[in-house]
Amino acid sequence: MLAVTRLTLNQESALSGVQELPVLGWEIESPRRNVRQTAYRIQVSHEKSFDNILLHSEWQQCEHSNNVTLTELMMTSSQRYFIRVQVRDDQGETSNWSSAAEMISGVLYPHEWLADFISGEKPADKIHSAGTLLRKSFVLNRAEEIQSAFIHVSALGLYELHLNGLKVGEDALTPGWTSYHNHLLYQTYNLTGYLNKGENVLGAITGAGWYKGDMGFSRHRNYYGEQTALISQLIINYKDGTQDIVVSDESWKAHDSAIIFSEIYDGEIYDARREVSGWCEKGFSGDGWRPVSLMTHEKSTLVAQGSNTVRKMEELKPVQMITTPQGDTVIDFGQNLSGWVEFNVRGNAGDKVVLRHFEVLDADGNVYLDNLRTATQRTEYVLKGEGEETWHPHFTWQGFRYVKVEEYPARLDLTNFTAIVLHSAMEQTGYFACSNPQLNQLHHNILWGLKGNFVDVPTDCPQRDERLGWTGDAQIFCRTASYLMQTRNFFAKWLTDLRYDQTPEGGVPHVIPDILTGHCEKDRLLSEGGTHSASAWADAAVINPWTMYLMYGDTKVLENQYASMKGWIDFMTAHAENHIWHYSLQFGDWVALDAKEGSYFGATPNDLTCTAYYAYSTQLFAKTAKVLKRDADFEHYDALHQAIVRRFQEEFFTPSGRLAARTQTAHILALYFNLVPEAFRERTTDTLVELLNEHDGHLVTGFVGTPYFCHALSQNGRIKEAWNLLLKDDFPSWLYQVKAGATTIWEHWDGIKPDGSMWSADMNSFNHYAYGAVGEWLYRVAAGIEADEEHPGFKHFIIKPLTGGGLSWLETRYQSVYGAIGVRWEVSGKEVSLCVKVPANTSATLVLTDGEALLEADGVDFIRNTEGFSAEIGSGEYRLKYHVAD
Ligand code: BGC
């Protein structure tokens, strides 16, 4: 039976807070093969029952089941909408109505914000990082007539919202980190059913967070402002169509909270003896509470977040307790993660629990804190002494696997400790397993690198005094991240900030949101070289939106980022000389092993890296112009791309085809970015293999070369070498880390050296996703699930598995917006058994690489070609068997 099994709004199952109409997508299921949608219709209602229909579209004769816009719906603020869809297929079968997806509209127009930003702090508090309580009591006489109630909330700083004694929602670290003066997110919560007749109390705790806290590796406070503030607007819709509105204003009152210190890097100090009992409950007197002051912040910067808030995603229990040789008591959670430790404790008033969070034990098995640099990652809880107390921090998070227990007033029982894993809520879309357990662990580590670092912004690392949205890291890892999780909204948010923080000339800051500009006078590198526009880093401006388009087929991100993308290309052009681009401080092939002893800068020359990326980004931008039908731009940038490539070839290749820079990374970039004259492709590939062999099959690449190494080999016929590189397990390699017990990806190949010593503490993160960028090779090449840029979002795609590496089987599932794409292969001698799954309303080109003889075709019409066998297939599951050449 034909059915719509899932309906999404901006690829999410629900949106809480919407300002612009979302795009719709749905998954179709049918027992038939080759199912294509021929028509759909949509209904929208305020009610789940759809008793009253707001919008009922005619049947649209259309094959699209993704990125469908709801153009005719006129939204109003603070309303609930239910949307459902019905489809018809190419056999004339009609589905039932799907179950409904729900969205709540936000505050659609700035003038509808009646609330003000209110602060319970004073200007003198700019040096403090305490939590502040805010409260408002209000009376509702007609509670039984409430139809719905929604609250829209944001803060300068961080906030936790409470209503009638309970925390509202499950989010943490709201409103997240953005370019606050341009773009401040608010969250929307559904309070229907939570309001009482008579007195109600809204409360909030605000904290310093990114807004006014002590941030950045050169440690400055007050990047965005000096006082925390809250804005909240509660809309109560009554059945008779009237509304009550309760807003943050001067009638609110403030008080100090039990959070006496809370900082993102340094943790939290909480004195439970200072808790104000009943502060957010009715009947509370409020005596001694101080007035709040109004703060100014442009309300047009407020934007509904809708989804992807940071929240508790998982819980982990400790795996062991350790007493170190130095006598410290350490709890091991078995997994490097970002989040909090929550504990239960009993003791006397004034007793303390003090925890230090860290990533690794040193060679002797002792607590290793040095790589945290100035971040103390310390939490302190002072007991009130009233039975069992349960606590976790509020306005901070820690990157850790281990916790050193510095104080605990009772016998340590591990069941009292839980690690709460926090990250931006995203649906996991990539699943991988194979016959090689080390490779499975590598995939696990890549996934946890993502979990640990997608905490509202894509951070480089979650533990030391950094945790910044380094553009290079986010660029390198973007494709891998987008196989593993649904990243569309996460990156769309971050790219909005990139756009806002760009320099007027189109330069792209090294970190987004940008807190480096104007604050790096003491930094050895950045004070000399500036804080923006490094090749491969700044190219996130182009590569990330393009990746969103490839993976989700959505042109919205491209449209929103178009001027930003163009700005970046024009910046490079303005600073290029005869198409060779170079500018100020470059990170180059950052932390490559071919760097000079003690240096972070790899051996590949900067003008080569810069010009290679200039060509690549210009090509992607030209493609973007074509997609968006900006014809004049397409012609201009397409010609520019060709000119850069010609110049690259002139400058960096000798007439007989030698690439001037004899580094692995130079060859990888030239091959992967298609900068090699066709006649020299083989020679370039051979030299890359030579360079690999010179290191006994090991990579010596850094941030720039590593992500594409396996691709550069496998795309050029060196499949065996690609697999061997992936599966190397001695130093330096991906599996070396796995063998060393890593549970996430390390920043350095030699984070922990074979002799147990560490890379210098000044920059040695053990949760740095950049090198995890090899993950995309597992999905795109080993499983062979590859996007087709002519039909993005996997409307049509390529399945071209590449067996090898001695693996006897491999299984991957990628949850595309149309449904799950599955690939499973099994190898036995020359025989390959392959199962593939193609979602309804999509199709794929199936390529059996090196296929020599077909044993079972499962009804598929293959043609033989130079690659092996290939066929066009529609939706359905296929089981095939073939022989591969030796
Ligand atoms: C970060 C990197 C980043 C780099 C740029 C480091 O401190 O942790 O991942 O890309 O700086 O140079």
Q: Is the CB of 746 under 6 A from ligand 1?
A: no
**C-alpha angle 376/513/592, rounded to 5°?**
70
Cα separation, 812 vs 784, in Å, equals: 9
Residue 809 DSSP code: E
pLDDT, one tens digit per residue, over 822-839 is: 999 999 999 999 999 999
Residues with pLDDT less than 50, the chain? none
Cα separation, 299 vs 297, in Å, equals: 6
Using a 10 angstrom Cβ sphere, with 0-12 exposed, 13-18 middle and 19 or more buried, the burial of residue 332 is: middle
Asked if 145 is an active-site residue, the reply is no
Domain positions in the chain are 3-104, 110-307, 311-424, 469-727, 785-884
Partners of 577 in the β-ladder: 580
Q: How many angstroms separate the alpha carbon of residue 647 from the centre of ligand 1?
A: 30
Give how far Cα 326 sits from Cα of 322, 359, 365, 697, Å: 11, 17, 9, 40
Q: Helix crossing, 488-501 with 555-574: angle to 10°?
A: 40
CB 766 within 8 A of CB 371: yes
Report which of 152, 153, 160 is spatially closest to residue 132, judged by C-alpha positions: 160
- Which superfamily, per CATH, for 785-884? Maltose phosphorylase, domain 3 (2.60.420.10)
In CATH, the number for domain 3-104 is 2.60.40.10
Cα separation, 547 vs 540, in Å, equals: 10
The first and second tokens of residue 720, run together, are 């065996």
Asked if 747 is an active-site residue, the reply is yes
Using a 10 angstrom Cβ sphere, with 0-12 exposed, 13-18 middle and 19 or more buried, the burial of residue 548 is: buried
Atom of ligand 1 nearest to the CA of 600: 12
311-424: CATH architecture: Sandwich (2.60)
Atom of ligand 1 nearest to the CA of 510: 5
Helix (H) or strand (E) holding 503: none
- List % helix, strand, coil for the chain (3-state, nearest 5): 25, 35, 40
Using a 10 angstrom Cβ sphere, with 0-12 exposed, 13-18 middle and 19 or more buried, the burial of residue 460 is: buried
Nearest CA to ligand 1 atom 7: 763
Cα separation, 357 vs 6, in Å, equals: 40
Q: What pLDDT does 272 receive?
A: 98
Give how far Cα 791 sits from Cα of 524, 550, 813, Å: 46, 8, 20
Q: What pLDDT does 13 receive?
A: 95
Q: Is the CB of 587 under 6 A from ligand 1?
A: yes
Q: What pLDDT does 530 receive?
A: 85
Q: How many angstroms separate the alpha carbon of residue 741 from the centre of ligand 1?
A: 24
Q: How many angstroms separate the alpha carbon of residue 257 from the centre of ligand 1?
A: 36
Q: Is the CB of 470 under 6 A from ligand 1?
A: yes
Q: What pLDDT does 283 receive?
A: 96
Q: Is the CB of 473 under 6 A from ligand 1?
A: yes
Atom of ligand 1 nearest to the CA of 768: 9
Cα separation, 755 vs 752, in Å, equals: 8
User: By three-state DSSP, how is residue 181 classified?
Assistant: coil
Q: Which CATH number fits the domain 469-727, given the four candidates 2.40.160.210, 1.50.10.10, 1.10.10.10, 3.40.640.10? A: 1.50.10.10
Q: Which of 359, 590, 599 for a ligand 1 pocket mutation test, highest count of atoms within 8 Å of Cβ?
A: 590
Cα separation, 272 vs 382, in Å, equals: 6
Q: What pLDDT does 70 receive?
A: 84
Cα separation, 33 vs 876, in Å, equals: 5
Nearest CA to ligand 1 atom 1: 460
Q: Which of 461, 467, 470 for a ligand 1 pocket mutation test, highest count of atoms within 8 Å of Cβ?
A: 470
Cα separation, 304 vs 286, in Å, equals: 32
The first and second tokens of residue 778, run together, are 């597992």
Q: What pLDDT does 522 receive?
A: 80
Q: What pLDDT does 176 receive?
A: 98
Cα separation, 504 vs 484, in Å, equals: 35
Q: Is the CB of 460 under 6 A from ligand 1?
A: yes
Q: How many angstroms separate the alpha carbon of residue 498 from the centre of ligand 1?
A: 17
Is the preceding omega at residue 655 within 30 degrees of 0, hence cis? no
**C-alpha angle 743/747/752, rounded to 5°?**
70
Given 160, 466, 721, 786, the catalytic residue = 466
**C-alpha angle 307/497/600, rounded to 5°?**
115
Nearest CA to ligand 1 atom 11: 470
Atom of ligand 1 nearest to the CA of 472: 10
* Domain 110-307 matches domain 311-424 at the CATH topology level: yes
Q: What pLDDT does 263 receive?
A: 98
Given 359, 380, 747, 786, the catalytic residue = 747
In CATH, the number for domain 110-307 is 2.60.120.260
The first and second tokens of residue 724, run together, are 């061997």
